[in-house]
Structure 1
């Protein structure tokens, strides 16, 4: 499964908001430096979506952009 994510960095409040079936808006406190914001985006998605700890989440495209495509796969 793939989801599209728009990210706001340096936010005062962190949140994950589902905009549509496969589109999310995520705000993180981390700066957009050295992959810190990307790491926090994955952590927040895992906290908010993943009931199965074996799910593998990775950024497919948008490593240096606020608009990302994230792959979510079953790790079985």
Structure 2
């Protein structure tokens, strides 16, 4: 695996949103609105799906490194 192909981002998740979307707040920091509720990992699953689609990678390339149960997360994407 090439280290240059990994990207780490700070992500603030807004679960149970009416509209879904990915917005860059600042370089390396995103705000992601997901429609899924923050229960039983549903919001995390949807977050991974949205980030994979946004960056054009498979879902397996997106990993939550920190903040599994928090709205503030650190995510790694294998580009």
Q: Same fold, TM exceeding 0.5?
A: yes
Gaps of at least 5 residues in structure 1 are none
TM-score between both structures, scaled by the size of structure 2? 0.84
Q: Counterpart of 2:52?
A: 46
**C-alpha separation in 1, matches of 2:10 and 2:31:** 9
Root mean square deviation of aligned Cα: 1.6
How many residues are paired up?
A: 73
Report what 2:31 is aligned to: 25
Report the TM-score when normalising by structure 1. Answer: 0.87
Cα gap change, 1:37 to 1:71, in 2 (>3 Å): same
Per the alignment, residue 3 of structure 2 pairs with none
Q: Which has the higher helix share?
A: 2
Ranges in structure 2 where 5+ consecutive residues have no aligned partner: 1-6
Report the Cα offset of residue 73 of structure 1.
2.1
Change (3 A) 1:55 1:40: closer
